[in-house]
Amino acid sequence: MYQHKFKPGSPGHSDEDNMENRIQKSKAGKTTGSLSNYLMGNNATIPEVGKGATILYWTDRCAYEVIEVSENKRECTIQRYIPERVDGLGMSDSQYYKYEKLDEQKLHLVWRQGAWRAKDSEIVFTKEFIAAHPGGEWSLANALTEEQISEIYQDGIFPQKVVAGITREKKIFRKVNIIFGVRSEYYDYSF
Q: Are residues 44 and 86 in the same domain?
A: yes
Q: What are the E-state strand segments in the chain?
A: 52-56, 61-69, 75-85, 97-112, 115-125, 167-175, 178-180
Query: Is the pLDDT assigned to residue 79 strictly greater than 80?
Result: yes
Q: Is 70 helix (H, G, I), strand (E, B) or coil?
A: coil
Give yes or no: residues 33 and 107 share one domain: yes
Task: Clarify whether residues 110 and 46 are in a common domain.
Answer: yes
pTM of the model: 0.76
Q: What is the Rg, in whole angstroms, of the alpha carbon atoms belonging to the chain? A: 21
Q: What span, in angstroms and rounded, lies between the C-alpha atoms of 181 and 65? A: 9
Dihedral sign for Cα atoms in the order 25, 61, 112, 72: positive
- Yes or no: say if 34 and 14 are a contact pair by the CB < 8 Å rule: no
Whether residue 114 sits in one domain with residue 34 = yes
More confident: 92 or 138: 92
One domain for residues 176 and 144:
no
**Residue 191's pLDDT band (cuts 50, 70, 90):** confident
Task: Determine which of 24-28, 107-111, 123-127, 181-185 has the lowest per-residue pLDDT on average.
Answer: 24-28
97 and 114 together in one domain: yes
Number of domains in the chain: 2
The pLDDT tens digits of the residues spanning 9-18 come to 444 444 454 4
Q: Are residues 113 and 139 part of one domain?
A: no
How high is the pLDDT of residue 151? 93
Residue 151: φ, ψ to 5°? -65, -40
Q: Which residue has the higher pLDDT, 139 or 169?
A: 169
Is the same domain home to 50 and 140? no
Q: Note down the domain range covering 161.
A: 127-165
Quick one: pLDDT at residue 2? Answer: 35
Q: Is residue 12, in this structure, part of any structural domain at all?
A: no
Which of 191, 189, 186, 188 lies closest to 61, judged by CA? Answer: 186
10 Å CB burial of residue 113 (0-12, 13-18, 19+) is: middle
Q: Say if residue 132 is in the same domain as residue 107.
A: no
Residues 111 and 145 in one domain: no
Triad 33, 11, 182: Cα angle to 5°? 40
- 71 vs 11 pLDDT, higher one: 71
More confident residue, 2 or 62: 62
pLDDT at 164 over 60: yes
Both 76 and 139 in one domain: the answer is: no
Are 52 and 115 members of one domain? Answer: yes
